[in-house]
Structure 1
Amino acid sequence: MVDIAVEEPDDPRISLFMGLRDHDLRRRREAPGGDMDGVFVAEGELVAGRALAAGYRALSVFVDASRRDPLPPGLDPTVPVYRAGPRVIPAVTGYQMHRGALVAFARRPLPTPEQVLAGARRVVLGEAIVNPTNLGVIVRSAAALGIDALLLDPTSCDPLYRRANRASMGEGFALPHARVDRLPEGLAPVRAAGFTVVALTPAADALTLPELAARIGPDDRLALVLGSEGPGLTAEAEAAADVRVRIPLAAGVDSLNVGVAAGIACYALGRPIA
C-alpha cells in the first residue's frame, strides 16, 4: 500500500474525509454540484469490503497511524492510505481514536427506474425518507428479505451516505437503486412496468399485511411504498396506490418506526427465501 503520514487536520490530501460529523454539510458536499459530487465514504472493514466486492472503486483510505490491522481485502495496492496522527483523528471522526478504516469510493452512474425495474418482482419505494439510519435499516431489510431493488423520491436521503451504509452494513451496495420523480408522478414507471403499488399506512380501514400476503404469488410484481418517519406517506401518494395495507398493532400503539415497519413488510411480501 502507498502509506502517507498526515499530521495536520487541514491537509488537503484528506479533504474527502472532512465533514463526516456534520450530516448537513456532508450532504451538501456530496450532492450533485458539490465539491464531493461523485464520491461516498464507507466506514469499517466490513462495509468497505462489501463496497469493493460490489465493484466500487476505492479512491483513498483514512486510518489511525497506530493501526496495524489488515486493510479491507480487495483494495488496490496503488490506493493511497493516509495514516493520521493524534491531532487529525478527532477533527475527522469526532473521537480520539479511530480503530477502523474510512474508505472513499467513486460513485457509479445511477441506473434509470426502468432499468432497475426490468428484472425485478419486488421493490421498495421510499417517499421522504430523510433519516440516513432509518434508510440504512430499510436497505438492510430489503436486501435480506427478498426485495430486488430500491426506488427513492427526490426528497429521500442517499443510501450511500456513510450513516446509511453503516446502518445497512453495506448490504445496499449490491441492491440496485434509482431515483423517481416526486409522488404520485414518480409512480408512473412503476405502473408501466406492471407493478401493483402497495402503500404502507397505519389507517384502520386498510387491508392487513397478513391478508395481502395470503393473496399474492411469488411472481407477482409488487412495489411497497413507505412514507416519511413522522407523517408517513403524503395523502396524494397513498391515494394513488392500488392497495393500502397496515401492520396490525396492539391497542394504544398507533405506528412503528419506518425501518421496523419496512422489515416486517419485506418479510411478509418479499420473494420467498429458499
Structure 2
Amino acid sequence: MARLITVTDPADPRLADYVRLRDVNLRKSLEAEHGLFMAEGEKVIRRAVATGYPVRSVLTARRWVEPLSDVFGDAPVYVADDDVVEAVTGFAVHRGALASMERLPLPSVAGVLAGDLPGQGTGGRGEVPRRILVLEDLVDHGNVGAIFRCAAALGIDAVILSPRCADPLYRRSVKVSMGAVFAIPYARMGDWRDGLAEVRAAGFTLLALTPDQSAVPLHKVPRGERAALLLGTEGDGLSSRWLREADHPVCIPMSAGAMELGVDSLNVVAATAIACHELMRD
C-alpha cells in the first residue's frame, strides 16, 4: 500500500528531490549526488517502473493518486495542492504527477555492444545489436530525448554516448522521449579520443552522417552485418577526428530546390529519423 503524506509547506525537507526542476546546474549536481532522476506524467512513470527503475517517492495532486496507485508500491507519496507543487518545482506540473526514480548502474560499452545487459533498467533486450547510434557531444537534452524516441520507434538496437553528451535521464530528455529512453539500451564512453575503436573492434561499420553533399548518400553505402551511425551536434556536426575515423561519410541527399533556397541540411532530430529509417531497411 502506498504511504500517502499530505504536505502543505514547499520548504518541507522531504520534498528535496523535487526542488527547482528547471535549474539545470542544480539538478545535474543533485541528481548525480543522490543517484536519482525525475519521471513526469503517468505514461512516463509507468514506463520507468516497467523497465525496472525503483520509485523513491512521488509528488502529486490528490486527483492523481487513484490512477497511479498500482505503481507506487511502498514508496512515500507526497500529496499537495497545485500551488505547493509549483512552488517546489518552479513550474506548473500539468501531467499530474512527478516521481523521483532511483538510477541503476549503466552497463559498459562492451556490454551493450555484446547484448550483455544484466539488470539494466534501460529496456535491455538481451539481443546482440546490429544497428546502433553513436552520439558525439549532443548537449541539448531535448534533442537527445527526441533521438531516443526516433531510435525506439524505428527499431534501432542501442545507443552509445560520447562522454560529453547530455544525460538521457535528465527530466527534459525523458519527457521529450515519452519514456523511450527506457526502451533503448545505452552506455557512455569513458574516452572520446579512442571510443570509436571499441565500436569498430566489435565488428561495426562506422557511418558518419554529415550535411556535406559530396558524401555518399546513405542508401548507397554497404552497411555490413553490423552498422553504427555517428551523429554530431546540430551546430558543428561531427568532429574532424570522428569523420576521419569513420569507414564512410554519408549524407541525406537534399533536393536541388532546397539547395537553391539555402536549405543545405536538416536539424539533427529530423536527420536522425530519416537516417534511422534508411538504416533499418535491410
TM-score scaled by structure 1? 0.90
CA distance in 2, matches of 1:264, 1:147: 12
What residue in structure 2 maps to residue 248 of structure 1? 253
Q: Which of these residues, 243, 260, 263, is aligned with residue 270 of structure 2?
A: 260
Cα distance, 1:24 vs structure 2: 2.4
Task: Map Cα deviations across residues 229-262 of structure 1 (whole Å, 9 max, x no partner).
Answer: 2111111111111111111122121221111111
**Distance change (3 Å), C-alpha of 1:86 and 1:148:** closer
The CA distance in 2 between the partners of 1:241 and 1:120, in whole Å, is 19
1:5-154 → structure 2 map (5 Å cutoff) = 5-31=6-32, 34=33, 36=34, 38-67=35-64, 69-71=66-68, 73-76=70-73, 78-96=74-92, 98-118=94-114, 119-154=128-163
Normalising by structure 2, what TM-score?
Answer: 0.88
Q: Which amino acid aligns with 1:24?
A: N
Aligned equivalents of 1:97, 1:46: Cα separation in 2: 14
Q: How many angstroms apart in 1 are the aligned matches of 2:162 and 2:65?
A: 42
Could you tell me whether the CA contact under 8 Å between 2:53 and 2:103 is conserved in 1? yes
Task: Name the aligned partner's letter for residue 244 of structure 1.
Answer: P
Q: Is the 8 A contact 1:184 1:240 kept in 2?
A: no
Count of aligned positions = 263
Cα distance in 2, alignment partners of residues 134 and 123 from structure 1: 17
Structure 1: give runs of 5+ residues left out of the alignment: none
CA distance in 2, matches of 1:178, 1:99: 29
**Higher alpha-carbon deviation: 61-70 or 18-27:** 61-70
Secondary structure of 2:152's match? helix
CA distance in 2, matches of 1:68, 1:123: 39
In 1, distance between residues paired with 2:219 and 2:24?
38
Alpha-carbon distance, 1:216 to partner:
3.7
- Shift of the alpha carbon at 1:181? 3.4
Provide the rounded CA distance (Å) in 2 between the counterparts of 1:271 and 1:15. Answer: 47
1:204 matched to 2:213? The reply is yes
Contact 1:206 1:244 in 2 (8 A): yes
Give the alignment's Cα RMSD to 1 decimal. Answer: 1.8
Q: Distance in 2 between matches of 1:271 and 1:175?
A: 19
Partner letter of residue 44 of structure 2? Answer: V
**Seq. identity, %:** 48
1:159 partnered with 2:168:
yes
Aligned residue type for 2:264: D
